[in-house]
Structure 1
Amino acid sequence: MTVTNAPTARAAGRGPRKAPPGPPRTRTVKLLRQLMGDRLALMQEAADEYGDEVRLAVGPKTLYFFNHPDYAKYVLTDNSENYHKGIGLHQAKRALGDGLLTSEGDQWRKQRRVIQPVFQAKRIARQADVVADEAATMVARLRTKAGTGPVNITGEMTSLTLGVLGRTLLDEDLGGHGGIGHAFEAVQDQAMFEMLSLGAVPTWLPLPRQLRFRKARAHLEEVVRELTVARERRPTVDGEDVLSRLIESVREERDPRVGEQRMRDELITLLLAGHETTASTLSWAFHLVGGDPEVRERLHEEAVRVLGDRLPVYEDLNQLTYTSMVVEESIRLYPPVWMLSRIAQGPDEIGGYRIPSGADVVICPYTMHRHPEFWDAPEKFDPERFRPDRPTDRPRYAYIPFGAGPRFCVGNNLGMMEAAFVLAMVMRELRLEPVPDRPVVPEAMLSLRVRGGLHMNVERA
């Protein structure tokens, strides 16, 4: 199957070219340095210099980087069966296990069927009160810190999102399980290390990072065991939370140890990906709003007008129009899923270029969302881009902050509702101001987060 409507599709009668253009082998050391350090600069510079089809020879790997909506649609949706999870994620299984993020084929489809009903729109709507309640607790905590100096907003958002996930997905309060956030941080660091090193470093080496990871993984597995035992003793009324559905699904496993491991992997993956992406989204939103007083004032006005002094309810989402626009623009500039890697299962052709079997193919939402062909002033923070009545002929796949195709992020509706509620409730009561001389630097990990956390001064509105 070939992309025929792509911008550089081959002319009739000509065979596919061997490989896209890209940096010469003499730049391999620089590329490796960027891969280990500034991965966003690596992808953006490649797109700026070579266009929408790029070959990146990075050490022992050659990446086929495609940066156009047509290519994204083809790889992620039209021919998704030929493109399985790619570079690094196979190695990351050593840290994350075989959960929804890393599994493939029949196992992935089975896991998706178990998880999907928990994220249905009707069930998410019923969880709005929980999200609002957790957000109110967080806002009250921030109020007490007003005027006391810089506050780690990312840490606050992490606590919030873990609380929301615990109550909405597991029907459990995770507050009694201390250190979960730090444990997830160590697991994510190890997963990224596995991805960048391509699994070449033995896990038994007593490196400080790996020692932290082993301790963190053991802690998270113990938390999962405690949650499972508690749920077995105290079933929920409807049995439709993730924990109940996973417990039921693993009863089919012949080997109880296999079922127990699968459930642990799934829960750890869901909790890590679920809380990390939303916490990062909110951190970037607060950072961007903090630098734009006009946007901040409009958010405050809308929150006061729509919510008054009460907690938000699900129906308020339709009225928090500008708030939703700000969230959408935040994840355009800083998409939580910043890169999508795939491995070609068989030979293919994209944009007139031959893709060999086993090739590493990369789609990068971060660069796609800044593509000058589809976005005016792409580096500018402008929520008006997403005004509902604003006409646009932008291709659907020019904006894919949660991925696309069969592996589209299962929790996007919960994440968007949570982000809108939290942003509105904070902006109604507080001002979050940038800390002078403290740079805010993006760090491309499993999600696109703020390096070292976002620190801001909290003031009463």
Structure 2
Amino acid sequence: MTTIDLTGARRAVPGPPRSETLSLLARMARDRLTVMTSVSQQYGDAVRLRLGPKSMYFFNHPDHAKYVLADNPGNFVKGIGLVHARRALGDGLLTSEGELWKAQRKTIQPVFQAKRIAAKADVIAQEAAGLVAKLRAHRGGEPIDISEEMTGLTLGVLGRALLDADLGAFESIGHSFEAVQNQAMFEMMSLSTVPHWVPLPIQRRFHRARADLDRIVARLADERRANPTPDGDDILSRLVEATRNEPDPAVAHQRMRDEMVTLLLAGHETTASTLSWTFHLADAHPEVWERMHAEAVEVLGDRQPTFSDIPRLRYITQVIQEVMRLYPPVWILPRVTREEDEIGGYHVPAGADVLICPYTLHRHPGFWEEPDRFDPDRFSPGRSSGRSRYAYIPFGAGPRVCVGSGLGMMEATIVAASVVRELRLSTVPGYEVRGEPMLTLRVRGGLPMTVRSAA
């Protein structure tokens, strides 16, 4: 197993020469995943990427991830990509720092307590049943975009389970967030050199999307203020209450808006991407689909899944874990150093962009046998023991670990089990399925699949 020297003299971080800046930027714009993989293979676990006036320090070892995310998180604030996303997300839980972040986390955290999340299993099962019914109607017909269906499903779960609201009336949410992510990546890859007022099509789409999200959030907040829920314990009600006594109405409105837009994105996009990849990879490995189907039939029979079924759906859980290893929904964790630091013996200056990349970390040959192979059994109890805790971080790590990880895993497991029990989804022959690394790692261009009965 690969080891690194965490002591001793500081070392300069190796990487491509500055003369390759333009070609590196062009390659990053075309295929960020391939670039991150190739430079880690060529230069090792610490790489300096010179991109114009910027240098990004890419670290790809579990000990590096542990140090940045868990041991010394106070010196590493949110960085490139997320900074650009702030134009749309504002200072929500995903992008905020310091005392504001602590206050936001305190407001939202109680909703994600294990007991409360367990109580949402019935809601998820009902939404999954609705999805299965819709897919069943497409048996033998034209392909259906599974990525789009997963977006609709996860928005439905988000609305009912966390907001006590119906998001079905807002069909534009998914498209608006796509425009937001496109703009964030455009600004990142152009190094923010294009002024916001330049009327490029991508920027016009972004402005329309941001206005649409503002409208949706304002309507949800107004409706909740006018019609409070009986217990007031959903996230929307808690945010209304948390901002009620804010002396400045503009500040109260902005806090509500930023938190809600962030929740709408983070609360559906990651699980939707994971489920899309799950159905694609299981289809590409028929033996995996058959094992998932057999387990779902054995555990569930013909009844609706419940929370108590989750521990018994062991193989399906392993499949989802393996999917998130190969295609982690949050594929990169960008940070910026407050003060100069030392990571794995390498000097990193103050104000430097630091990248921890779960996509490459999860494929590190020093910690994963045949890392590019899809093998759900690698998460079986016997094979998981002894693995570095920070070699697998699909939900991040440290104080800023994803607050919704428990809900996301339960949702993915219940939905996957509900679908594979009754149906067989197949990717359209000849369709190229590729990853699109935006704020999340989604399937590029959608995922057309045909539907037939499982039996």
TM-score, length basis structure 2: 0.97
Distance verdict in 2 for CA 1:116–1:307, change over 3 Å: same
| Aligned positions, number | 453
Distance verdict in 2 for CA 1:389–1:90, change over 3 Å: same
Give distance in 2, aligned partners of 1:90 and 1:252.
29
Q: Is residue 4 of structure 2 the alignment partner of residue 7 of structure 1? A: yes
Q: State the match for 2:299 in structure 1.
A: 306
- Cα offset, 1:234, TM superposition: 1.5
1:194-209 to structure 2, matched below 5 A, reads 194-209=187-202
Q: Which amino acid aligns with 2:216?
A: V
Give distance in 2, aligned partners of 1:107 and 1:196.
29
1:324-339 to structure 2, matched below 5 A, reads 324-339=317-332
Q: State the match for 2:109 in structure 1.
A: 116
Mean alpha-carbon deviation: is it higher for 375-384 or for 84-93?
84-93
- Cα offset, 1:230, TM superposition: 1.2
Give distance in 1, aligned partners of 2:440 and 2:342.
29
Q: State the match for 1:248 in structure 2.
A: 241
Q: State the match for 2:227 in structure 1.
A: 234
| Partner SS state of residue 390, structure 1 | helix
Give distance in 2, aligned partners of 1:92 and 1:181.
16
The 8 Å contact of residues 378 and 384 in structure 2, kept in 1 or not, is answered as no
Give distance in 2, aligned partners of 1:192 and 1:169.
28
Q: Is residue 174 of structure 2 the alignment partner of residue 177 of structure 1? A: no
1:398 to 383, 391, 394: 391
1:455 to 445, 448, 451: 448
| Partner SS state of residue 56, structure 2 | strand
Give distance in 1, aligned partners of 2:298 and 2:387.
32
Q: State the match for 2:10 in structure 1.
A: 16
Q: State the match for 2:127 in structure 1.
A: 134
- Cα offset, 1:6, TM superposition: 6.1
Q: Is residue 363 of structure 2 the alignment partner of residue 366 of structure 1? A: no
The 8 Å contact of residues 92 and 195 in structure 1, kept in 2 or not, is answered as no
Q: Which amino acid aligns with 1:268?
A: V
Q: State the match for 2:283 in structure 1.
A: 290
| Partner SS state of residue 9, structure 1 | coil
TM-score, length basis structure 1: 0.96
Q: Is residue 35 of structure 2 the alignment partner of residue 38 of structure 1? A: no
Q: State the Cα deviation string for residues 279-306 of structure 1 (Å, max 9, x = none).
A: 0000111110001111111100100011
Give distance in 1, aligned partners of 2:366 and 2:178.
37
Q: Which amino acid aligns with 1:260?
A: H
Q: State the Cα deviation string for residues 87-126 of structure 1 (Å, max 9, x = none).
A: 2322321122111111111111111111111111111111
Q: State the Cα deviation string for residues 301-328 of structure 1 (Å, max 9, x = none).
A: 1000111111101110011000100000
Q: State the match for 1:100 in structure 2.
A: 93
The 8 Å contact of residues 23 and 55 in structure 1, kept in 2 or not, is answered as yes
The 8 Å contact of residues 179 and 202 in structure 2, kept in 1 or not, is answered as yes
Mean alpha-carbon deviation: is it higher for 25-34 or for 447-456?
25-34
| Partner SS state of residue 309, structure 1 | coil
Give distance in 1, aligned partners of 2:163 and 2:368.
39
The 8 Å contact of residues 91 and 198 in structure 1, kept in 2 or not, is answered as no
Distance verdict in 2 for CA 1:23–1:144, change over 3 Å: same
Give distance in 1, aligned partners of 2:235 and 2:74.
27
* RMSD, aligned CA: 1.3
Distance verdict in 2 for CA 1:216–1:448, change over 3 Å: same
Give distance in 2, aligned partners of 1:219 and 1:94.
14
1:50-69 to structure 2, matched below 5 A, reads 50-69=43-62
Distance verdict in 2 for CA 1:258–1:197, change over 3 Å: farther
- Cα offset, 1:198, TM superposition: 3.6
Give distance in 2, aligned partners of 1:404 and 1:247.
29
Distance verdict in 2 for CA 1:6–1:348, change over 3 Å: farther
- Cα offset, 1:352, TM superposition: 1.5
Q: State the match for 1:213 in structure 2.
A: 206
Distance verdict in 2 for CA 1:398–1:391, change over 3 Å: closer
Q: Is residue 419 of structure 2 the alignment partner of residue 426 of structure 1? A: yes
Q: State the Cα deviation string for residues 165-213 of structure 1 (Å, max 9, x = none).
A: 0111110111122322212221222222233334332222222112112
Gaps of 5+ in 2: none
The 8 Å contact of residues 85 and 180 in structure 2, kept in 1 or not, is answered as no
- Cα offset, 1:146, TM superposition: 1.2
Mean alpha-carbon deviation: is it higher for 84-93 or for 160-169?
84-93
Q: Is residue 269 of structure 2 the alignment partner of residue 276 of structure 1? A: yes
Distance verdict in 2 for CA 1:258–1:404, change over 3 Å: same
Give distance in 1, aligned partners of 2:189 and 2:252.
30
The 8 Å contact of residues 162 and 234 in structure 2, kept in 1 or not, is answered as yes
Gaps of 5+ in 1: none
Percent identical pairs in the alignment equals: 61
